Amino acid sequence: MPLLSPAMLWLLAGSILCLLELFVPTAFVAFLMGLSAFVVALVALVLPTVLSVQVLLWLLLSTSLVVLSRRFLPHPTASKNLDAMEAQTLTEIPAGHTGRVLYEGNSWQARCEDEEMAIAPNQKVYVVRRQGTTLIVLPQSLLQ
């Protein structure tokens, strides 16, 4: 195999893209593009085709892998980690419904973790987690 064959160029490109992911986090986009380059290198070894067909195959594979990874891999949950845990109810939180709490100086929509429990206004609650813009809380009395 010649040193600058299309298959060798795709292997080199795939290696560079995969290594790039180590130094520049791209949410696995560069890594998936590198894997696509490896597949195109194998195809170039078995079926020598025109370079434009190889580039088109690489683009299709890269796009497909990135889309599939976004669809099937879980999203990071770093935004769900909450620093402060205490909040104060501003309104009643009816059982199974939402109310308002004061959390870090702002009014948030909140729901009780226990769907069967209501929380009165002006009660101290603990934030368990966040779902979108709704805080999931538990009353202080339940945790003592």
pLDDT tens-digit series, residues 81-99 = 555 589 999 999 999 899 9
**Residue 74: pLDDT band with limits 50, 70, 90:** low
The whole-number pLDDT of residue 78 equals 41
* CA–CA separation, 2 and 16 (whole Å): 20
* CA–CA separation, 49 and 73 (whole Å): 33
Reply yes or no on whether the pLDDT at 69 is more than 60: yes
**In whole angstroms, how far apart are CA 6 and each of 30, 33, 53, 107?**
20, 16, 12, 60
Reply yes or no on whether the pLDDT at 65 is more than 70: yes
DSSP 87-143: EEESS-B-TTSEEEEEETTEEEEEEESSTT--B-TT-EEEEEEEETTEEEEEEHHHH
pLDDT per residue as tens digits for the range 6-63? 899 999 999 999 999 888 878 889 999 999 999 999 999 998 888 899 999 999 999 9
pLDDT per residue as tens digits for the range 93-143? 999 899 999 998 899 999 998 888 899 999 999 998 888 899 999 988 776
Reply yes or no on whether the pLDDT at 76 is more than 50: yes
Please say whether the beta carbons of 40 and 61 come within 8 A. Answer: yes
Residues pairing with 134 in the sheet = 109, 131
Tell me the pairing of strands 106-112 and 134-139: parallel
* CA–CA separation, 86 and 137 (whole Å): 9
